[in-house]
Amino acid sequence: MMAGAAERRPIADDAAHLLVVDDDSRIRSLLHKFLTTNGYRVTTASSASEARLKLDSLSFDLLVLDVMMPGENGLELARAVRARSPVPILMLTARSEAEDRIAGLETGADDYLIKPFNPRELLLRVGGILRRSAAAATSGSAPEVRFGPFVFHRGRGELKRGDEVVRLTDRERDLLAALAERPGQTVPRAAIAGDDAAPGDRAVDVVVTRLRRKIEADPANPILLQTVRGLGYRLLTDE
């Protein structure tokens, strides 16, 4: 899984702190060595129960969780962590079926990497997640936007109603993200449609209609996702 170790970088005092959870001691050792070589602070755990103890006593910037662990598996641990913390989560698994990837993301994981993987890809995924997390923390915008019975997590692009994840298409997620960037404000159609949209393109209206079917009690008389005639759309949030 890991090859071609790089020259070890000195670990800065403010380096991101990662928790790696995997029941395979060889994998834990390899991940610890590789990630510390590339400048991260790394703590490891061999089980979900050990991870819980370390989560209670230490602060982490990212969790790297193996899915297939005996006892409480990675999906169950990720779901429990997400219920109490927004800490980013990267899932690792040897299973490549689409259903398994979807299950991982539905727990609230930020990304999903299939074993065996190229170590450079692991670094790219870890770096990407940390950059997005830092950007969300410094943007001045709340990580979550609440409207009606729904919560939209901007960083993960995840919509939930209570504990239930609402399935979104990519276009629906992009639309909701654009509206959530400016909660309660009118977002122009052009900003949603993009520069490549042709005049008279009704694609945005189609996506709005589909999203309303998922979030409105009466899609024909929307309350949460409002049309501002001649201008664009507005998401009526609780803020």
8 A C-beta contact, residue 183 and residue 239? yes
Query: Both tokens of residue 21?
Result: 């959870």
83 in Cβ contact with 91 (< 8 Å): no
pLDDT tens digits for range 104-125 = 666 777 788 888 888 888 998 8
DSSP helix/strand/coil, 30: helix
Max Cα-Cα span within the chain: 61
Helix (H) or strand (E) holding 56: helix 48-57
* Residue range 177-196, pLDDT digits in tens: 889 888 888 888 777 776 44
Q: What is the pTM of this model?
A: 0.58
Q: What is the CATH number of domain 17-138?
A: 3.40.50.2300
Return d(Cα 150, Cα 18) in angstroms, integer: 30
User: Three-state DSSP class for 194?
Assistant: coil
Helix axes 98-106, 74-84, angle to 10 degrees: 30
Distance, CA of 221 to CA of 158 (rounded, Å): 24
Q: Residues spanned by CATH 1.10.10.10 within the chain?
A: 144-235
Q: Residue 198 — very low, low, confident or very high, per pLDDT cuts 50/70/90? A: very low
Between the alpha carbon of residue 35 and those of residues 80, 117, 185, the distances in Å are: 25, 14, 42
Contacts of residue 110, defined as CB under 8 A and 6 or more positions apart, other chains included, come to 88, 89, 90, 129, 132, 133, 155, 156
Distance CA(24)–CA(29), nearest Å, equals 9
Task: Provide the pLDDT for residue 4.
Answer: 44
- Give the tens place of pLDDT for each residue, 25-54: 999 999 999 999 999 999 999 999 999 999
pLDDT confidence band for 3 (50 / 70 / 90): very low
Q: Which two tokens stand for residue 41?
A: 């602070």
Residue whose tokens read 């230490």: 58
* Range 141-150 average pLDDT: 83
Mention the CATH class of domain 144-235: mainly alpha
